[in-house]
Structure 1
Amino acid sequence: MDGSRNHSRVRRLLLPLTAGACAVALLGGCSDPAPSSAASAVDAGAPMAESDLEDGYQRVIKDVLPSVVQIDASEGLGSGIVYDDQGHVVTNAHVVGTGKTFKVTAATGGDPIGAKLVAAYPEQDLAVIKLDSVPDGLKAAKFADSAPAEVGQIVLAMGSPLGLSSSVTQGIVSAVGRTVSESRAGGGTGATIGNMVQTSAAINPGNSGGALVNLSSEVIGIPTLAATDPQMGDSAAPGIGFAIPSSMVKTVADQIVKDGKVTDSGRAALGITARTVVDDRFEPTGVAVVAAQKDGAAAKAGLKAGDVITRVGDEDVTTITALAEALASEAPGDKVRVAYLRDADKQTAEVTLGEI
């Protein structure tokens, strides 16, 4: 795998309702509410006085917090971002879970507002809900354009970590182009998501669906996952979080708002039903094709049930997750070389990828 792949274990950032009452120990892990800066000075490379940076952070917080909400779902607490002036709120699919109705509270305070699910898209761990009414003071967030985030860029994470609404932490973009897979444990969607933004801004359970913003008060991503360290009992790895990029958020949310569902995923697929195969030592060795959809990408290239896929492009494939990660960096219509075993014979095929 190349450097853009992330093989750390990750966890969703939904706060179970039973953990809603955080106490003193939890406060110690929160960073100071400081985000933003005079973007012009940063862009120009000019030195910035500490007071200027502090003022800039405070301006961004004032700009963005009225667009951030806390979502009380049947399965826990999460965060969301006001998407438009019609009351649509975008969040993570794992935040809404199987729920259809929710209570939403603005980060700036006020009474809870009812909301209903418009649609969820678990494949990208995104969902849109709509408020029953739009209260005064709530405003739509400004989403950054499709230009990628840059490593070293200062960012702020806003949401309700551990049930602490209106919380803000700051850090930088640590890496871009990460591909991570979410566990299904604890209500996760099992999604494999490409082009994630990695950040050092502290994000914790409850931050899911909130806002990762730049110093121009633009949302560049939705915090979704945090890395965990298996050697530390799967506790959170400090300073390693992942956010779905704004370009993907807008692509999915626009379709849900317009059509009530995702009509064009933009995600590559082989068009197969598959399972992981293991050797005599129970080590994963490839992905067996259980069924190939008629007229699907794999079938058109000559693959059939019983074939075992071992490589896609430059990526070795030993598990279903590895296959999903290899496809996450591709797009529908791309041509890739797929290596596979048929009756123990090594074969390859050029496959024109389809769409999920």
Structure 2
Amino acid sequence: MSRSRTLRSRVLLPGAAALAVALLATGCSSDSSGKDSASHQADRSPVAAHPAAESSPAAGANDLQTAYQDTVKAVLPSVVQITTDSDLGSGVVYDDKGDIVTNAHVVGDAKSFQVSLATGGRPLDATLVAAYPAGDLAVIKLSSPPNGLRPATFADSAKVAVGQIVLAMGNPLGLSSSVTQGIVSATGRTVSEGATGGGTGATIPDMVQTSAAINPGNSGGALVDLGNEVVGIPTLAATDPQLGSGAAPGIGFAIPASTVKRIADQIIKDGKVTDSGRAALGITVRGVVDNGLQPAGAAIVKVTSGGAADKAGLRAGDVITRLGGTDITTAQSLTEALASYKPGDKVKVAYRRDGDSGSAEVTLGSL
């Protein structure tokens, strides 16, 4: 590489000398070293002729850096570390009464917690208000909320746009108050969590996909825009089977802010979720396979009395093979298909019963 650079310099020198000669010939001032003076003049000319070309990129970079720093300063004090007897994760201060929202898989089976504020000080005691595993959300409450708690501001999820710059704030791998950056890669994703490795096995609709790094310990923290608003709660990173089920770089998911607010408000007010906004058939199912041992549908194990499926005439032993326009091959695929519907929607369900095919129109209930 050094030889390449030397050759390049040798090519450029004659041109510089020619430029100097041309400037001298047109009346540029000179002293005892007129060539050097002319070269100096040539160096300054492009700057004088195009000041914006050199200043704009630097100014833009400084503006973006300042925006990052302002957002971190404004929001990071609202992000806490949550520690249980067996694990740790992150949470977001929801109000000044000491309510903190996090993931259900962060709290697990624990009922009491230690909470460390980003602003420092001794860990604070907290207890569980309620968890909602189906949506992987939970609320815990500080036993003695300190003065000066900084509740976060949550964004309107409908305004979150692909390409928007976001920062993920949390405690990945136990590194408290860490920040990573990326963009919103997609919205409206339906994602199924694994039931292993601490996950709840939940299927969550309308998730925000981001390129910001999401690592263990980020769960329950904040995905934040440059307007200092929380756009989502980071929950999991995608896994890549080719990497031995390791995290797929640049693919993480966050529960949208509007869902977080709806669920957290109900938990705080009623101690439980009273209206999930999620559709349900009112059944318990398991996967079945055909004679070739291929997935062949979702078999109904139990029907909730008075539920949507019961009212439509479905019964235990039926094998659901299609919901609306989606083929159903497993219990998981049924859950994922239901995630795109709302309570009250009418949907056609195809099924097998005692070797015969049938269908029913079901008015979906609430999860």
2:338 to 327, 337, 352: 327
Amino acid at match of 1:151: V
Separation (CA, whole Å) in 1 of partners of 2:318 and 2:311: 14
2:225 to 214, 230, 233: 214
Aligned counterpart, 2:289: 278
Amino acid at match of 2:96: D
Post-superposition Cα deviations, 1:228-286, rounded to whole Å, max 9, x if no partner, equal 11121111100000000011100110011111111111111001121111122322110
Aligned counterpart, 2:318: 307
1:97 to 108, 126, 136: 108
Separation (CA, whole Å) in 1 of partners of 2:78 and 2:149: 6
8 Å contact kept, 1:212–1:222: yes
8 Å contact kept, 1:117–1:128: yes
8 Å contact kept, 1:106–1:138: no
1:348 matched to 2:359: yes
Separation (CA, whole Å) in 2 of partners of 1:251 and 1:75: 29
SS at match of 1:169: strand
Post-superposition Cα deviations, 1:92-151, rounded to whole Å, max 9, x if no partner, equal 000001001100001222211111111111110000000122234431000012424211
Q: Identity of paired residues, percent? A: 69
Where do residues 81-96 of structure 1 align in structure 2 (5 Å cutoff)? 81-96=92-107
Separation (CA, whole Å) in 2 of partners of 1:188 and 1:57: 31
Aligned counterpart, 1:288: 299
The structure with more radius of gyration: 2
Q: Give the TM-score normalised by the residue count of structure 1.
A: 0.85
SS at match of 1:144: coil
- Where do 5+ consecutive residues of structure 2 fail to align? 1-57
Amino acid at match of 1:299: D
1:179 matched to 2:187: no
2:63 to 52, 67, 70: 52
1:74 matched to 2:85: yes
- Where do 5+ consecutive residues of structure 1 fail to align? 1-46
8 Å contact kept, 1:75–1:96: no
Runs of 4+ in 1 over 6 A off after TM superposition: none
8 Å contact kept, 1:155–1:213: yes
Amino acid at match of 2:331: I
- Alpha-carbon distance change, 212 to 319 in structure 1, aligned in 2, over 3 angstroms: same
SS at match of 2:274: coil
CA shift, 1:294, in A, is 2.1
Q: Give the TM-score normalised by the residue count of structure 2.
A: 0.82
8 Å contact kept, 2:157–2:231: no
Aligned counterpart, 1:262: 273
Structure with higher RCO (Cα < 8 A, 6+ apart): 1
Separation (CA, whole Å) in 2 of partners of 1:316 and 1:148: 32
Q: RMSD over aligned Cα, in angstroms?
A: 1.3
8 Å contact kept, 1:66–1:137: no
- Alpha-carbon distance change, 48 to 191 in structure 1, aligned in 2, over 3 angstroms: farther
Where do residues 108-187 of structure 1 align in structure 2 (5 Å cutoff)? 108-187=119-198
Amino acid at match of 1:80: G
8 Å contact kept, 2:235–2:255: yes
2:349 to 316, 326, 338: 338
- Alpha-carbon distance change, 48 to 247 in structure 1, aligned in 2, over 3 angstroms: farther
Post-superposition Cα deviations, 1:170-226, rounded to whole Å, max 9, x if no partner, equal 100101111111111122211111111000001100000000011100001000011
8 Å contact kept, 1:161–1:207: yes
More helix by share: 2
Aligned counterpart, 2:72: 61
Amino acid at match of 2:167: L
Separation (CA, whole Å) in 2 of partners of 1:86 and 1:107: 17
Separation (CA, whole Å) in 2 of partners of 1:257 and 1:93: 15
Aligned counterpart, 2:247: 236
Amino acid at match of 1:321: Q
SS at match of 1:238: strand
Post-superposition Cα deviations, 1:297-339, rounded to whole Å, max 9, x if no partner, equal 1121121122110111122111111111011111100111111
